[in-house]
């Protein structure tokens, strides 16, 4: 599962250092947003044919790992 994270790149020269899918300029946040607004993985792959299913799963895992380290704040 952690091998999926190799598909994510953070490079200050690409999209100002935002995490993207390796070999693309597709940011992780965009994939998460698409899933959150109701698209499923197949929909995302149709919209962005350069992505693979593993890329979408990597984006979700990356977001999960970031949130795992978040400090809980009362809203």
DSSP-derived secondary structure for 49-75: TT--HHHHHHHHHHHHHHHHTPPP---
Contact yes or no for 60/53 (Cβ under 8 A): no
Q: Is residue 33 in a domain? A: yes
The answer to whether position 29 is within a domain reads yes
Structurally, the chain folds into a number of domains equal to 1
What is the arithmetic mean of pLDDT over 9-30? 97
What is the value of pTM for the model shown? 0.87
| 74, part of any domain | no
Full residue range of the structural domain in which residue 59 is found: 2-68
pLDDT in tens, 34-62: 999 999 999 999 999 999 999 999 999 99
Integer Cα distance of 18 and 32 in angstroms: 13
List Cα–Cα distances, 66 to 42, 43, 49, 50, 69, in angstroms: 24, 24, 26, 25, 6
Residue 6 within any structural domain of the chain: yes
Which CATH number covers residue 22? Answer: 1.10.10.10
């Amino acid at each position: 599962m952690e091998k999926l994270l190799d598909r994510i790149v953070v490079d200050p020269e690409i999209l100002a250092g935002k995490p993207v899918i390796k070999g693309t300029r597709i940011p992780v946040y965009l994939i998460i947003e698409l899933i959150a607004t109701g698209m499923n993985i197949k929909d995302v792959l149709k919209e962005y044919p350069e992505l693979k299913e593993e890329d979408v799963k990597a984006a979700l895992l990356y977001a999960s790992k970031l949130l795992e380290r978040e400090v809980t704040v009362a809203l």
